[in-house]
Structure 1
Amino acid sequence: MKYAVVGAGAMGLRYGLLLQEEAGLDVDFVEPTQASLDRIHEQGDQVYRSVDHEDRTLVPVKAFSPEEYDGNPDVWIFFMKQMQLADALKRLAPKFAKGQTALGAMNGMGHIEKLQKYFDDEHIIGGTAMIATILNDYGDVDFIGKTSSVYANKTEQPSEVMDKVQADFQAAGINPSYSENFMGTLLTKVAFNAVENSIATMFQARMGHLIQYKDFVSGIAAPLVAEVYAGTKAAGIELIETEQEMLEQVDYVSRVGNPLHFPSMYQDFVKGRETEVDYINGYLADLAENNGVPAPNQRLITNLVHLAEAMREFNPPVNQLIQPKKQNA
């Protein structure tokens, strides 16, 4: 199948390059951010790809603005920030065609409702990606660690397109699995991010640093996760992991899986950008409260991340993503 990846950021580049380079598929990149698109063109229509901070190599890509794109993909893969998606969809609307599928594996929640304005439920796939990736700069991506991902059709029924996506993603090394629990699949990742992303951002810490606090899981992760499971249960949604499995995942990913990784929310935070906390902790707080369950911890974390954003004016964060230059002796 042919793919168009909307958003040439960290995850968009990782998916697109894996599909192009590992699976040998036809991939276009549609980049709504002009500065990013300009950089890719300046580099000779190439992007830098590193793997675990090593082997930085230029890889040719086909990159377009939404207005100039005239391709006809079978599947659109959306990897925009939640707050940027509506504008990107509006710009791309004239390019969407009947029979095309939209796949969204973005952080947080809110994108599915936006996709439904342009695609019917039979042509929407939701996904979650446990994939650590760093965007060093526009057109410069670093693949960190191994990949793992889960996908579900909005209809929660099997489909030929899903079968093909699973095969293509497997060939690309994205390591996909299939679920027939749409909301449970998406919210399982949101629950994880509500702990790791938000806390690491506030304290400007790598995921492995958090677990060095002996009560991180029991004293911080557990109350946040408990609110998620109470809220989703009240909403009639069953996550694809149990509450205990979620806590074990937080511990494992922090301690073993990706201890040196800075989550994407931190990457936005240190670059002075708006974070997606409203679409993660804020969404979970709304979900619980709308179903009669209090979520004071999720609400507090949401406000604390916004406070940290405001405090950048007075206490600028140090961008630890930038490797220090070696000084001459």
Structure 2
Amino acid sequence: MNYAVLGAGAMGYRYGVMLQENTGAKVDFVDTWEENVEKAHQQGGVSVARDHQNRRVIPVNVYYPENYKGHPDVWIVFLKQMKLQETMERCSKAGIFHQDQYVFSAMNGMGHFEKIAEYFPKDQIVCGTAMIATRMDGPANVDFMGAKGSEQMHYATYNGKAADQTVKAIGADFKKAGLGPVFADDYMGMCMAKVVFNAVVNTLCTMFEIQMGQFVEYPGVKDMAKQLFDEAFDACDRAGIKMITTRQAEVESVITVSHQYKYHYPSMYQDFSKGRPTEVDYINGYIAKLGRENDYVCRTHEFVTHEVHLAEMMRKYRKQNQEQEKKIAEMVK
């Protein structure tokens, strides 16, 4: 199987490099971030470390959509939700999507599969979730967090049918790559299980600008997680979504995963700290919307969605406030 990764970011590089290194599959990367593409060209690939150790440049082929001439069997899509529609349209105009291709995506949040289905047949879409932490420290510079073998992911068909031969082959390649794939029968229950996890860890770590290990030190984490999980599970129950995990298992996963990736800043914080918009509307905001659509109000999720947006807006005052504090300190002297 040949692959092309659309979105050479933290997770795009993680999947593509592990497939290329561990399976021998041909993997291309397509991206629209100019600094990232040019840096990869300049240094001859992507700089990769694991838990800050053994950094090396791994040769990869990175293209702009307009320059890509390949015809992969499978596209792997890892884009930010806010950029998905724009990037898919740019790729479509470049003529690099074909009706015989399958597409896999394990992006954060919800709403992306409907957009992907505008460009690919529904029977050829594979949905995924990934409990895999990766940092992008700069253009073509990533850090794979967690020991080898700690990677975990789920995948399911978008059409709800049993896996066909191509989907099975994708799963086999993911297993050989070391990504820890588990097939799920229902993509909605699978995806929502990851969304509600991110709605706790990603969002709260971002609001307080802390690592997952720092977050889990707080003795009230289980109570906070339970409050957010209970609302999310209630909303899913009202919507008829059968989760692939239980409420208690979700609470325990917050503790386990936060300890496992204790030095990791979640992807939402990585966006926030770099001044980019976060995906909170596709995570907590999606849960809140799902609840409202099914006559259930997720008040905590609505509140934290507003809090993250408030924090985003207040970033513009950070430098100004720091300068004012410096002036006050000098006056006191």
Deviation for aligned residue 1:142: 0.5
**Aligned counterparts of 2:284 and 2:91: Cα–Cα separation in 1:** 29
**Aligned counterparts of 1:238 and 1:207: Cα–Cα separation in 2:** 28
**Aligned counterparts of 2:21 and 2:137: Cα–Cα separation in 1:** 20
Deviation for aligned residue 1:311: 1.3
Counterpart residue number, 2:206? 201
Counterpart residue number, 2:5? 5
The one-letter code of the counterpart of 2:76 is I
**SS in structure 1 at match of 2:67:** coil
Alignment RMSD, CA only?
Answer: 1.1
User: Within 5 Å, which residues of 2 pair with 1:13-32?
Assistant: 13-32=13-32
Higher helix proportion = 2
**SS in structure 2 at match of 1:262:** coil
Counterpart residue number, 1:135? 136
**Aligned counterparts of 2:57 and 2:256: Cα–Cα separation in 1:** 33
Counterpart residue number, 1:52? 51
1:234 aligns with 2:234: no
Judge which range, 257-266 or 128-137, deviates more.
257-266
User: Within 5 Å, which residues of 2 pair with 1:5-154?
Assistant: 5-44=5-44, 46-93=45-92, 94-145=95-146, 146-154=150-158
Contact 2:48 2:57 in 1 (8 A): yes
The structure 1 residue matched to 2:173, chosen from 163, 168, 172, is: 168
Count of matched residue pairs: 314
Deviation for aligned residue 1:119: 1.1
TM-score by length of 2: 0.93
TM-score by length of 1: 0.94
**Aligned counterparts of 1:32 and 1:283: Cα–Cα separation in 2:** 27
Deviation for aligned residue 1:315: 2.1
Structure 2 residue runs without a partner (length 5+): 320-333
**Aligned counterparts of 1:298 and 1:159: Cα–Cα separation in 2:** 37
1:223 aligns with 2:227: yes
The structure 2 residue matched to 1:189, chosen from 181, 194, 216, is: 194
Q: Identity of aligned pairs, percent?
A: 44
Judge which range, 140-149 or 154-163, deviates more.
154-163
Contact 2:99 2:121 in 1 (8 A): no
The one-letter code of the counterpart of 2:166 is V
**Aligned counterparts of 2:238 and 2:69: Cα–Cα separation in 1:** 45
User: Within 5 Å, which residues of 2 pair with 1:164-313?
Assistant: 164-218=169-223, 220-254=224-258, 256-313=259-316
**SS in structure 2 at match of 1:103:** strand
Structure 1 residue runs without a partner (length 5+): 317-329
**SS in structure 1 at match of 2:66:** coil
The one-letter code of the counterpart of 1:290 is E
